[in-house]
């Protein structure tokens, strides 16, 4: 038996003497050096007593060594469990306990708190800092070389990624070797990645986007990465001339557009910009094309499925849509209550089926049965619709659906109108408790730089375009919208903040 992910993604690097990773300072790590480092870490994990199927929780800064630890998990058969670096020790404790992790790797600066978490759940604790150094690297450096990757099958678990947990406890999505490899193959083909590509990588690697989409695709295609610890506009602008591709979240592109140095000449050599993890405003899409001549390629994925749809590499990249279902992915729109497939053009629940769809939620069989149908279709929780040409648009999350006076209101419809209003940079529409209507529609706006928002004029404009039950009962203006680390607007926080708006 082989080890599909390691054999396909990492093993080919062994013969590569040229740079695979380059950091912000220009320091290079060859493919061969990365491969050797991954095997040393794999030997260290095995030496610590971890066996195939054991879980390793990792809360460390983004470094080449951190990525090599992911490759080591693949080689050793250990299930990789990356954690957001912003999580507190109490939050980490939930993931370590729920996953039954055998090892927790964390920052030496937090060794006391995280070591205590590991001890509480019977896990080992080792460290790795923002330079890739620490007790785990020391063990790897002093251990034997020549580790042989363990056999794994397509259905064996490669990773557990926990959902953001905005409603209730986070759920651990179990991702198999086949889930990750099938998606990487499709994306590398659809987005035309080759060994000549250099990806400017400024995303975190504790998330599907930065780890599985970006890194797996580059490794599969034989390309290389400029591997940055995070997004800084100055740094990205200085390094773009050395790249051919960039994957980002909308916030990246908004910040770049705010810088006059970011222009057509700077990115003339680039071939692809992609955006995901949060909705890209149509206005940002248009501004980006006007400034650079490039149309951002927007796509749609989830923790549980990796990527489901993509605007085409060759063909119309339509602002406001997430493109077409990827090859091998079946996508349908269903009635959220009955599960019946709806006619084309009607909004409803997005369901997907394919080799990319996860195996279920770790230790949550009831949640798995609720969201993963017997026929293999996953109920995404996203409300969307498909146009006459097959392009998918996301209307909103099911939990964001507003029911006011018995009528369903999809926030995205209102947000699109609000975003077009004078002075508005972006908007979020939420439902909050109301004594008469059950829920009331509330609009939260952020002003464009140097602009002042006239809420009275906006309310009048919406009155011309929307049925009365869809019109916001109140329009609020904030300096910015609350977001998570991947740039998604946290509407749950807005709903909490304004829960008493009409009831106090």
The verdict on 232 and 123 lying in the same domain is: no
Residues 430 and 453 in one domain: yes
Task: Kindly state whether residue 372 falls inside one of the protein's structural domains.
Answer: yes
Give the mean pLDDT of 169-176.
92
Q: Are 394 and 382 in contact (CB under 8 A)?
A: yes
pLDDT of residue 167: 46
E strand map for 291-371: 297-302, 306-310, 324-325, 330-334, 348-353, 360-361
CB 123 within 8 A of CB 104: yes
Asked which of 134, 153, 172 is the last residue of a domain, the reply is: 153
Q: What percent of the chain lies above the pLDDT cut of 90?
A: 79
Mean pLDDT on 95-116: 97
Q: What is the CATH number of the domain that holds 429?
A: 3.30.300.30
The CATH number of the domain holding residue 229 is 3.40.50.12780
Are residue 363 and residue 428 in the same domain, yes or no? no
CA dist., res. 336 & res. 496, Å (int): 25
The first and second tokens of residue 242, run together, are: 């050395």
366, 227: one domain: yes
Tell me: pLDDT of 197 over 50.
yes
pLDDT tier at 402, thresholds 50, 70, 90: confident
Residues 320, 221, single domain; the answer is yes
- 491-500 as b/e: b if 16+ CB within 10 A: bbebbeebee
- Whether residue 172 contacts residue 161, with contact meaning beta carbons closer than 8 Å, is answered with yes
Same domain flag for 335 and 431? no
Measured N-to-C along each axis, helices 111-120 and 89-99 cross at an angle, to the nearest 10 degrees, of 30
**Would you say residue 173 lies in a domain?**
no
Please tell me the predicted confidence (pLDDT) of residue 349.
95
Q: Backbone phi, then psi, for 17, in 5-degree steps?
A: -85, -15
Identify how many contiguous H helices and E strands the chain contains and give both numbers: 16, 25
Q: What is the pLDDT of residues 228-271, one digit of tens each?
A: 999 999 999 999 999 999 999 888 998 899 999 999 999 999 99
Written as six digits, the tokens of 492 are 């749950």
Give me the chain's average pLDDT, please. Answer: 93
Distances (CA, A) of 135 to 42, 93, 255, 434: 14, 21, 37, 55
Task: Tell me which of 72-81, 138-147, 199-208 is least confident.
Answer: 138-147
CATH number at residue 147: 3.40.50.980
473 falls within a domain = yes
Which of these three, 397, 429, 452, is where a domain ends?
A: 397
- Choose the weakest-confidence range: 246-250, 346-350, 399-403, 499-503: 399-403
Cα 69 from Cα 62, distance rounded (Å) = 11
Angle at which helix 31-47 crosses helix 135-142, to 10 degrees, equals 100
The answer on 259 and 378 residing in a single domain is yes
Do 239 and 345 fall within a single domain?
Answer: yes
Residue 478 sits in which domain range? 401-497
Report, in angstroms and rounded to the nearest whole number, the Rg of the chain calculated over CA atoms: 23
Between 280 and 289, name the one with better pLDDT.
289
Give the DSSP letter of residue 145.
S
- Tell me whether residue 120 is in a domain: yes
- CA 44, 47, 48, 51 dihedral sign is positive
Domain assignment present for 282: yes
Cα–Cα distance between 297 and 285 in angstroms, integer? 9
**Rounded-to-integer distance, Cα 240 and Cα 213, Å:** 20
Q: Judge whether 329 lies within some domain.
A: yes
Q: Which of 373, 397, 421 is the last residue of a domain?
A: 397
Q: Based on the fold, state whether residues 284 and 325 are members of the same structural domain.
A: yes
**Quick one: 415 and 324 in the same domain?**
no
Residue 172 lies in a domain: no
Residues 44 and 107 in one domain: yes
E strands present in 347-465: 348-353, 360-361, 378-386, 392-397, 402-404, 407-409, 424-434, 438-447
Whether 382 and 472 share a structural domain: no
Provide the pLDDT for residue 403: 78
Using CA atoms, how far residue 41 sits from 207, 222, 309, in Å, is 21, 22, 35
Q: How confident is the model at residue 166 (pLDDT cuts 50, 70, 90)?
A: very low
Q: What pLDDT is recorded for position 168?
A: 56
Confidence band, pLDDT 50/70/90 cuts, at residue 118: very high
Q: What percent of the chain has pLDDT over 70?
A: 98
Question: What pLDDT shows up at residue 61?
Answer: 96
Q: Report the number of distinct structural domains present in the chain.
A: 3
The whole-number pLDDT of residue 283 equals: 83
Of 377-391, 392-406, 426-440, 466-480, which range is least confident? 392-406
Stated pTM of the model: 0.85
Helix (H) or strand (E) holding 219: helix 216-221
How do residues 438-489 score in pLDDT, each as one tens digit?
788 999 999 998 999 999 999 999 988 887 888 999 999 999 999 887 678 8
Task: Tell me whether residue 243 is in a domain.
Answer: yes
Q: ∠ CA(236), CA(237), CA(241), 5° rounding?
A: 100
Average pLDDT over residues 101-106: 98
Cα angle, residue 488 at apex, residues 485 and 489 outer, rounded to 5°: 115
């Amino acid at each position: 038996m082989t080890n599909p992910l390691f054999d396909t993604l990492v093993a080919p690097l062994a013969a590569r003497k040229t740079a695979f990773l380059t950091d912000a300072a220009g320091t290079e790590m060859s493919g061969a050096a990365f491969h050797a480092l991954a095997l040393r870490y794999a030997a260290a994990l095995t030496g610590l007593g971890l066996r195939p199927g054991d879980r390793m929780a990792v809360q460390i800064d983004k470094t080449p060594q951190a990525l090599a630890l992911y490759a080591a998990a693949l080689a050793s058969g250990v299930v990789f469990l990356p954690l957001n670096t912003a999580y507190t020790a109490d939050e980490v404790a939930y993931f370590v306990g729920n996953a039954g992790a055998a090892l927790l790797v964390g920052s030496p600066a937090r060794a006391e708190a995280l070591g205590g978490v590991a001890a509480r759940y019977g896990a080992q604790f080792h460290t790795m800092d923002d330079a890739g150094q620490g007790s785990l690297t020391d063990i790897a450096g002093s251990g034997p070389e020549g580790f042989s990757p363990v056999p794994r099958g397509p259905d064996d678990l490669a990773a557990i990624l926990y959902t953001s947990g905005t409603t209730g406890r986070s759920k651990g999505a179990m991702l198999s070797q086949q889930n990750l490899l099938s998606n990487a193959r499709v994306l590398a083909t659809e987005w035309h990645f080759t060994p000549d590509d250099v990806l400017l990588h400024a995303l975190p690697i504790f998330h599907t986007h930065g780890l599985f989409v970006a890194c797996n695709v580059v490794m599969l295609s034989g390309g290389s990465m400029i591997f940055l610890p995070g997004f800084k506009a100055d740094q990205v602008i200085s390094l773009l001339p050395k790249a051919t591709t960039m994957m980002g979240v909308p916030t990246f592109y908004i910040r770049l557009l705010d810088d006059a140095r970011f222009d057509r000449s700077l990115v003339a050599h680039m071939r692809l910009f992609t955006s995901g993890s949060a909705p890209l405003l149509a206005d940002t899409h248009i501004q980006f094309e006007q400034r650079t001549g490039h149309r951002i390629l927007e796509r749609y994925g989830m923790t549980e499925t990796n990527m489901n749809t993509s605007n085409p590499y060759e063909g119309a990249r339509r602002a406001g849509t997430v493109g077409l279902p990827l090859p091998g992915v079946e996508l349908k729109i269903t009635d959220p209550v009955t599960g019946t497939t709806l006619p084309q053009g009607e909004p409803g629940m997005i369901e997907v089926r394919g080799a990319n769809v996860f195996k279920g939620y770790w230790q949550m069989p009831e949640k798995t049965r609720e969201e993963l149908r017997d026929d293999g279709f996953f109920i995404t929780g996203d409300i969307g619709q498909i146009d006459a040409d097959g392009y998918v648009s996301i209307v909103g999350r099911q939990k964001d659906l507003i029911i006011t006076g018995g009528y369903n209101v999809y926030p995205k419809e209102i947000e699109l109108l609000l975003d077009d209003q004078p002075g508005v940079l972006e908007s979020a529409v939420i439902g909050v408790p109301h004594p008469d209507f059950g829920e009331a529609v509330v609009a939260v706006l952020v002003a464009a730089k140097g602009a002042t928002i006239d809420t009275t004029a906006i309310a009048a404009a919406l009155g011309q375009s929307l049925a009365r039950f869809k019109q916001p009962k109140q329009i609020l203006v904030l300096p910015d919208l609350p977001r998570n680390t991947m740039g998604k607007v946290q509407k749950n926080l807005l709903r909490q903040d304004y829960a008493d708006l009409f009831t106090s």
